[in-house]
Structure 1
Amino acid sequence: MAITLARDLRPDMRWLSSGFVLTFCSCFGQTYFIALFAGYLKAEITISDGMFGSLFTAGTIASAALLMWAGKFADQVPIRWLGAAVLAGLALTALAMASLTSAWMLLLVFFGLRFFGQGMLTHVAMTAMGRWFNQKRGRAVSIAALGYPASEALLPLIAVATIGLIGWRMTWVAIAALLLLVALPLFVGLLQRERRPTKEHADGGTAPAPARRDWTRNEVLKNPIFYALMPVLMGPGFLLTGIFFNQIAIADTKGWNIAWFATNFPVMAGCNVVSALAAGWLTDRFGARHLLPVLLAPLGLAILLLTYMESPYVLTAFMIVVGFTLGSASTVHGALWAEIYGTEHLGAIRAVVMSVAVFASALSPALIGLLMDSGVGVDALLLAGAAYCGVAAAWTVTLIPRLNRLAKG
């Protein structure tokens, strides 16, 4: 499969690489990367854990609200220049972080990192892959999405080492320099000639035909199926954000060393890569909509194991399943909306989806924290998450006939 994938996509590597650059750089706005600086930031401006979390949540929610409006520019502005503008915005935010002096400034920095990094870079990359590719869409999305596990595996370790050498402020200056002097010119250079396939563009493969009708965002927002899909599509992000945010509490409950979590992250990243590539091939062959039930059922079983088993090796099994879930989800979600709603207004449609995803990632830690403060145990919360996955997977199966009708116009 790998040889076939390389052969089929070799002519398109220029455009696929541009998507990889954007997803790789989105790391700087992701929770796991920002958390590396939490101790330094709280000490620098003398704020509590609660205030730090509140500022982060507020900045994330504000970024989601703006993304719902700004996402439409992916339909109106050439990807080359929109991506360049977002990279520049992220670089300026990194410089603002390097000169941080107050809590209010940290709120603005969190907003910028989440909007430009987590939000717009991901949105622009996935919108471009969905629009530029038709019958190779799944594989294209999977290649572009490899920037996520690549950055997860490399950048946290590099950041920790860099902080030790030059300090946390100069580390953010280095990040800004990397974005402005390397990522931005590389991205613009890759898109000297932007890919613009027509609806009838045949780019190989055996996937079902894309949606015959191009829905507007207003039409999508009036379509009940869109809302029926939300619990299914937001489930993995909501649950896993909550689990990783509370990994210390889980480790304490199970009697594990917290370092055991960190040790298993490379395992997750490796499985993420494998599953993203496999899901790309399966998406092109069978359609993204038919893979939706597969995303949540294994995750539910893994959370169930995490609930009832005490062995530390259960965490390794859990992280393997999480890696496969995240890799598959990034590919399937990236292809689904173009498949059922068309590509003409894909940026505006995906902006709504991304906003909901960002809201979910912001609310999960707060909601789970409140439940834990109310006396709900870790195992009870994990069991509820496993049950959610099972119900959502079954619900998705019932939606497939209606999704098939949407995809066929």
Structure 2
Amino acid sequence: MNSQSSCAEVELKGGLDEIALPTYRYFPGWTMLGIAAMAQFLSAPGQSFSVAVFKDPMRMSLGLSETQYSLAYGFATIVSACLLPFIGRMLDHWGARIILPVVATGLAISCYFMSQIHTLGSLYLGFSLVRSLGQGALTLISVWMVGEWFEKKRGRTTALAGFGSAFSVMTVPFLNSWLISHYGWKTGWVFHAVTVAVCLILPGIFLVRNRPEDLGLHPDGIDPDQEPEPQPEEKSKRPLITATIESWTVRQVLRDPTFWKLLSVITTHALVGTGLVFHQIALLGSHGVPEYWAIRMMAFQALCATLLMFPAGWLTDRFPSRYILCFSMLCLALANLIVLTMPAIWMVVVYTFLLGTTGSIFRSTATVVWINYYGRMNQGAVRGVAWSMMILASALGPLPVAMSIDYFGSYNPVLYLFMALPLLAAFAVWSAHPPTLFKEEQPAVEPEAAS
């Protein structure tokens, strides 16, 4: 009798648990995706394309030289790179629900602080704050949220979130220019402070959830138990995405050779891409390309990167990332070959299209490869380490181009170097298979001898 009542109680509890589980007709991950895109858009106050518009008005108002202003910005970039691994660890521990409102509040305060700057020392502090919180933390939070809420659709949703960044590149510089010309650079920074506070702090508090499991859901809104059984030939293939239970720690990742192969791609793209774009007007001008065409090619490059992001994300969900990353490096090497030889002026369009293609892969495949290879549990810390090295590489990018023209009187030496680096990275990443985590086996304990 007692056993029958116990069984009945178990069945009743199981039934109540099933009833208590929430049901969602609308997958909340799409809301998280919208907030992630908004976060990328509002990272603009710490991004170079936004800060560049403030450069001359602020520099003249503060009485600073070009070198003083550039050194302050370079110092802030290094600070941002150094802080990213720590921000990633905090993100893994506390989640976006806490970190996003805190970072958004800090960025809003930092933007207001930028409007009150009067000295070179305060400029160093202000730049360090907006670069670390905007360009660093806010972008990292955005991709972290997408990585947690999506798995099978991770490549495409990362590309969709990247549209926020692309739209920011295409609109914020013009908005900044209009604000500065009509109201002054201080009002421009106040506008950014208010926009970040209104659009990110409240959604971060009331709408953001860290993971679908917190709501009794699964990534993509799909229950793994209800998915169709994979075909026998699919089982034999190496999976494109690492399971959550096999997530790597940062220490394990740093000991994995695959990590350094992947890192060679993003650092090469940051170094070479930044160097080419930073000196684009002079570089293309050496081949007779007019300045206004060189400027227009920057906009065309951003357009190509934006339009190709979603196809790149679609390919990321279906094919091994190493092939796509290898292709991006070959495009970058070919772009350098074109600008080195420039057989015809119209080839500048092909050169720009190749850079845009590389940028689209960088914003999609190169963004999700870390979580696909190393799992969800420590994705913030792993990305933080990788992105800090990427930012340092981008900070160094313009230097070899400048040294080439100063010491050799030509861009050819650095272009040979910039052509070789992507080829080496392509060779390295071709063998970057998704790694397998081998956990150390505990030694067996021998039974004590009978006394």
> TM-score normalised to the size of structure 1?
0.89
The aligned residue for residue 89 of structure 1 is 106
Cα deviation for residue 96 of structure 1 reads 1.4
- The answer to whether structure 1 residue 49 and structure 2 residue 66 are counterparts is yes
Instruction: State the distance in 2 between where 1:83 and 1:38 align.
Output: 28
Counterpart Cα distance in 2 of 1:177 and 1:21:
14
Gaps spanning 5+ residues in structure 2: where? 1-25, 440-451
Structural mapping, 1:4-403, within 5 Å: 12-191=29-208, 195-196=212-213, 201-202=223-224, 208=239, 210-212=241-243, 213-309=246-342, 311-375=344-408, 377-397=410-430, 399-400=431-432, 403=433
Q: Does the residue aligned with 1:404 lie in a helix, a strand or coil?
A: coil
Q: 1:278 to 1:180 in 2, by over 3 A?
A: same
CA contact (8 A) 1:274 1:324 kept: no
Structure 2 match to 1:406: 436
The CA deviation at 1:225 is 2.2
Q: Is the 8 A contact 2:265 2:425 kept in 1?
A: yes
Number of aligned residue pairs: 398
CA contact (8 A) 1:299 1:321 kept: yes
Equivalent residues of 2:304, 2:356 under 8 A apart: yes
Q: CA deviation at 1:352?
A: 0.3
C-alpha contact 1:139 1:277 (8 A) present in aligned 2: yes
Letter of the 2:36 counterpart: G
RMSD (CA atoms): 2.6
Q: Percent identity?
A: 26
Q: Distance in 1 between matches of 2:340 and 2:47?
A: 27
C-alpha distance in 1 between matches for 2:391 and 2:87: 14
CA contact (8 A) 1:276 1:328 kept: yes
Task: Kindly state the Cα deviation for residue 13 of structure 1 after the two structures are TM-superposed.
Answer: 2.2
Higher deviation after alignment, 255-264 or 196-205: 196-205
Which structure shows the higher helix fraction? Answer: 1
8 A contact 1:129–1:141 mirrored in 2: yes
Query: What CA distance in whole angstroms lies between the structure 2 residues aligned with 1:367 and 1:115?
Result: 25
* Contact kept? 1:119, 1:358, Cα under 8 Å: no
Q: Tell me how far 1:220 sits from its aligned partner.
A: 1.0
Instruction: Look at both structures and tell me which one has the larger radius of gyration over its CA atoms.
Output: 2
- TM-score normalized by structure 2? 0.81
Structure 1 residue runs of 5 or longer lacking an equivalent are: 1-8
Q: Give the Cα separation in 2 of the matches to 1:29 and 1:204.
A: 42
What's the offset of the Cα at 1:353? 0.8
Q: What is the CA–CA distance in structure 2 between the aligned matches of 1:24 and 1:204, rounded to whole Å?
A: 35
Q: Which residue of 1 aligns with 2:14?
A: none
C-alpha contact (below 8 Å) 1:231/1:392 kept by paired residues: yes
